[in-house]
Amino acid sequence: PLILGIESSCDETGVGIVRGNELLANTVSSSMDQHVRFGGVIPEIAARAHLETMIPTLRQALDTAGVELDDIDALAVTSGPGLSGALMVGVAAAKALAVATGKPLYAINHLVAHVGVGVLDGGELPSDLGALLVSGGHTEILKVRELTSDVELVGQTIDDAAGEAYDKVARLLGLGYPGGPAIDRIAREGNGKAIRFPRGLSLPKFVGTAEAPGKHRYDFSFSGLKTAVARSVEQYQAKGLDVPVADIAASFQEAVVDVVTKKAVMACTEHGLSTLLLGGGVAANSRLRELLAARCASAGITLRVPKPSLCTDNGAMIAALASRVVSAGVAPTGVGFATDPGQPVTQISLPAA
């Protein structure tokens, strides 16, 4: 079936069109430019931008795919998790389309869609799949036995998301926003071993052992790391020394990437998962890709990293997961649902209201 997916959970307005595992269109419009001067995504501004760009993005996706609304078999939209006001714009647009065309509508989980998008780059996903999602709003390890019915949250951040940590540390170092690409770039000129920053939730009391797992064995924490970077910057300034920005950036990045890759690989090994899929905006990070590839290889885990345009927020991932949900024979959600800013990963598509 031909599926059209709409995404508006954060700062990207996305409309994607897929047929099975085939990607026909993936049009994205980002309001990032409007958030730069605030140093972070402002929910009200993001929602307003979705309102402006939704119809042009839809039009462009249909044109790119060479199809018309009439040709679409089912509609899908992100219902959560995400920013409440931003989600509402996509959901309202999708409901309007569903009512006007009479086509079935599916309310789709944004996080599970970051995994489902894998079918568009590399084909079918195995039933012993792990996923590491790292973005501005998320840091999660998932166990995915079946995309449409069996997804489990294995670990998550207890404070900041990985991308959020990059953004906050970049600000401390005067590198601007968004911080991820800036730190990635300048870290190449620095020494990642210059300063040993803390690896959050890596102490034995949190991690435990495979037999007796600690409460936070697969969880993450980045707020202590951010504070440690701030202290380090202050110490150089207090002594009247130049702040070694490249070394601090590289050492910060090493701390994030070390703990994220270690825990993801450990989760796969201990849960018997043969394949790990990487998703989210931080998947663009060069050091993360390098270390994750190396650690997956030594552990005998197959690593799948979809192309960057499918890792960041987009509509094709919503269409791709919905395509699976439709094929599995799940009933459409209809138009009686609300957004769920905290939608759990176990809620893959919302049931009919």
Of residues 17 and 282, the one with the C-beta less far from ligand ATP: 282
CB 155 within 8 A of CB 164: no
CA–CA dist 117, 314 (Å, integer): 10
Query: What is the Cβ-side half-sphere exposure of residue 170, based on CA atoms within 13 angstroms?
Result: 22
Residue written as token pair 């402006």 = 52
Q: How far is the CB of 61 from ligand ATP (least distance, A)?
A: 18
Tokens of 245: 């920005």
The stretches of 173-314 forming alpha helices (DSSP H) are 179-187, 204-207, 223-238, 245-270, 286-299, 308-311
Kindly state whether residue 11 participates in binding Fe ion, applying the rule CB under 5 A.
no
Question: Is 136 among the annotated ligand-binding positions?
Answer: yes
Is 138 known to sit in a ligand binding site? no
Q: Which does 243 bind (CB under 5 to 8 A by kind): ligand ATP, Mg ion, Fe ion, none?
A: none
**Segment interacting with Mg ion (CB under 5 A) among 6-14, 51-59, 242-250, 330-338:** 6-14
What is d(CA 51, CA 93) in angstroms, rounded to the nearest whole number?
9
Check binding of 184 to Fe ion (CB under 5 A).
Answer: no
Q: For 41, phi and psi rounded to 5 degrees?
A: -70, 125
CB of 294 to ligand ATP, least distance (A): 17
247 has binding-site annotation: no
**Pick from 83, 8, 21: nearest CA to 53:** 8
Q: In this complex, which beta carbon is closest to ligand ATP, that of residue 78 or of residue 335?
A: 78
Q: How far apart are CA 210 and CA 311, in angstroms?
A: 30
Residues 161-180 that bind ligand ATP (CB under 6 A): 163, 166-167, 178-180
Q: Does 284 bind ligand ATP (CB under 6 A)?
A: yes
The answer to whether residue 140 forms part of the interface with Fe ion (CB under 5 A) is: no
Angstrom CA distances, 78 to 68, 158, 170, 343, stand at 21, 24, 30, 10
Q: Closer to ligand ATP by CB, 125 or 288: give it.
A: 288
Residue type, 25: A
Identify the residue among 11, 121, 140, 160 touching ligand ATP (CB under 6 A): 11
User: Measured between alpha carbons, how far is 308 from 7 in angstroms, rounded to an integer?
Assistant: 16
Q: Are 339 and 88 in contact (CB under 8 A)?
A: yes
| Residue 11 contacts Mg ion per CB under 5 A | yes
| 298 exposure class (CB count in 10 Å sphere: 0-12, 13-18, 19+) | exposed
**Measured from the CB atom, is 284 or 330 closer to ligand ATP?**
284
The one of Fe ion, Mg ion, ligand ATP, none whose footprint includes residue 166, by CB under 5 to 8 A per kind, is: ligand ATP
**130 binding ligand ATP? (CB under 6 A):** no
Q: What x-and-dash track marks residues 222-261 binding ligand ATP by CB under 6 A?
A: ----------------------------------------
Q: Fill in the amino acid letter for 212.
A: A
Minimum distance from residue 227 beta carbon to Mg ion (Å): 25
Stretch that binds Fe ion, among 22-30, 119-127, 129-137, 283-291 (CB under 5 A): 129-137
Give the span between the Cα atoms of 224 and 257, in whole angstroms.
15
Of 14 and 104, the one with the shorter C-beta distance to Fe ion is: 14
Query: Measured between alpha carbons, how far is 322 from 249 in angstroms, rounded to an integer?
Result: 39
Spatial separation of the C-alpha atoms in residues 232 and 244, rounded to whole Å = 10
Q: Which of residues 11 and 254 has its CB atom nearest to Mg ion in the complex?
A: 11
The answer to whether residue 313 forms part of the interface with Fe ion (CB under 5 A) is: yes
Question: Residues annotated in the binding site for Fe cation, as ranges?
Answer: 110, 114, 313
Annotated binding-site positions for substrate: 133-137, 167, 180, 184, 285
